[in-house]
Amino acid sequence: MKHLTQFILGLGVCLGISLSCAAAAPSDLLATHTAKGVACAQCHAEKKSQKAVNTSTCLTCHGSHEALAAKTKAKDPNPHFTHMGDMNCKECHNIHKPSVNQCATCHTIPMQVP
């Protein structure tokens, strides 16, 4: 019980310092965003927000769905141009937890999702 209390306290301190401590296994995107000097508040406008950011926030830096599709056009199928339409980024990409290959929910399509 004492250990648990210490853990919770520790977690609380950790959360206070950086949201990145909140989840056990962040995706590759945490490192790539951090390396480019993207501060928490640039994506999370609300203070202490732990909600996934909206697609429109992602696109302020990443351009448009068309631009993303052009970037990954060499892949077959192109993960940014599928029959699902213009998907919301958070359907596949996570920052603070592992990303998800949404194609694989129906198909056997291997996809390394950063």
Partner 1 sequence: MTEEKTVARRAFLKGGIGASIGAGLGVASLAAEAASPKARKATRTANYDTVVLGAGCAGLCCAIEAHDRGGKVVVLEKMGRPDGNTIYSSGRFAGVGSREQAGLNESVDAFVKDMMHLSHGFGDPDLLRAYAELSGPTIDWVKDLGVPLRLVKNLPAPSSSRCFFLSGPGITGGSVLIRQLLKAAEQRKIPVHYDTKAFDLITNERRHVTGVHAMTEAGPVDYLARGGVVLATGGFSANPELVNAYMGGWATRLAVRGSRTTTGENILMTKPLHALLVNMDQFYAGPIIPETHANPARIANSAYGIIISREGRRFLDENLEQAPRSRRIAQLTTDNRSFIIVDAKTDREDNILTKLLKKFARLNSPVYQANSIEELARAAGLPAETTVATVAEYNGAVASQSTAKLHPPISRKAPHALDTAPFYAIPMSGGIAATFGGPKIDTVARVIDFERRPIPGLYAAGNAAGGVWYDADIGGNQLGSAAVFGRLAARDSVARAQKA
Q: Is 71 in the site for partner 1 (CB under 8 A)?
A: no
Within 13 Å of residue 14, how many CA atoms lie on the same side as its CB?
11
Angle ∠(50,51,55) on CA atoms, nearest 5: 135
3-class SS at 91? helix
Q: Is 87 in the site for partner 1 (CB under 8 A)?
A: yes
Q: Is 88 in the site for partner 1 (CB under 8 A)?
A: yes
Smallest gap from Cβ 88 to partner 1, in A, equals 5
Closer Cβ to partner 1, 62 or 107, answer by number: 107
Asked if residue 77 has a cis previous peptide bond (ω within 30° of 0), the answer is: yes
* Options 38, 91, 96, 97; binder of partner 1; rule CB under 8 A: 91
- Could you report how far apart the first and last alpha carbons of the chain are, in Å? 38
Closer Cβ to partner 1, 37 or 110, answer by number: 110
Residues that bind partner 1 (CB under 8 A): 76-78, 81-88, 91, 106-110
